[in-house]
Amino acid sequence: MKLASLSRSLLRTATVVAFALTATACATNPGDSGATEAAYQVNDPLELPNRFVFAANEAADILVIRPAAEVYVGVVPDPVRDAIHNFIDNLMSPLYIANNLLQGNVEGASNATGRFLTNTILGVGGIADVATQAGIPHAPEDFGQTLAVWGVGDGPYIVLPLLGPSNLRDTAGYAVDSVGDPVRIWAYGTDHKGMLVGRAVVSAIDRRSQILKEVDDLRRNSLDFYATARSLYQQQRRAAIANNKASAAPEFPDYSTPPKP
């Protein structure tokens, strides 16, 4: 796929998504304090199929993903894992910059640009997180957050195969981010598609390895793990959209983060 074609595809997708989801705008983002409690009630009309997909994801995690993450932690030294995590995250920086600009967040775009340049140049291509040591905050932004800033509501809660908790808006945002991913554009333009699969696998294992204990605790202590995961996902997304990174809730694995091959 040529670069020009990918660019046109991104613009078409973004336009269709924005118009298609406008009908749900503000449906789950009330403007008055009296609707706060309702805002945290997840819209889940697809609960039955969602639970089926959630169970399948759980099986895949228990049988494959979690064991792979454990081996990764056991075999790969901490400094190497940190370098891999930093490198993968740095590759996503152009998307963070673009989404900050689309949200009208000039300061966020400036910080994201500063992090990208600092880590790329001084961090040897991003393997060292020099920007954090320099006091430049890390604040990932995706197109789902951008749509929320534009006033698009959550839409129904969705559990995606392997990718995990999401909703209609964030699923559409993930699709746009995947098409606009600069590494994906380069890989398709230079016929290096195979590296996308490798990056997705390594990224998923890397992120899963960082929350081994947290997920185990949630599974062990939740009466209904599905409902717990659903609630935590909504809380995390609302905090991210509000640029409030300090959430009291324990983290749940976000499998939507790794870019789609």
pLDDT at 19: 40
With residue 209 as reference, give the H or E element that holds it.
helix 194-209
Q: Is residue 36 part of a domain?
A: no
In a 3-state reduction of DSSP, which class is residue 139? Answer: coil
pLDDT at 25: 36
Q: In the structure encoding, which two tokens stand for residue 68, read together?
A: 């792979």
Contact 186, 192 (CB under 8 A): yes
Q: Is residue 165 part of a domain?
A: yes
pLDDT at 5: 43
pLDDT at 11: 40
In a 3-state reduction of DSSP, which class is residue 241? Answer: helix
Q: Is residue 177 part of a domain?
A: yes
N residues, the chain: 261
CA distances from 99 to 12, 74, 110, 148 (A): 16, 36, 12, 11
Measured CA to CA, the distance from residue 192 to residue 183 in angstroms comes to 10
pLDDT at 40: 53
Domain count, the chain: 1
Q: In the structure encoding, which two tokens stand for residue 83, read together?
A: 């370098």
CB neighbour class for 197 (10 Å; exposed up to 12, middle 13-18, buried from 19): exposed
pLDDT at 131: 96
Q: Give the bridge partners for 159, in sequence order.
A: 165
pLDDT at 151: 95
Which residues of the chain are modeled with pLDDT < 50?
Answer: 1-39, 245-251, 253-260
Our CA angle for 167, 115, 90, nearest 5°, is 60
Q: Is residue 127 part of a domain?
A: yes
Q: Is residue 249 part of a domain?
A: no
- pLDDT, one tens digit per residue, over 87-114 is 999 999 999 999 999 999 999 999 999 9
Residue-number span of the structural domain to which 182 is assigned? 44-242
Q: Is residue 167 part of a domain?
A: yes
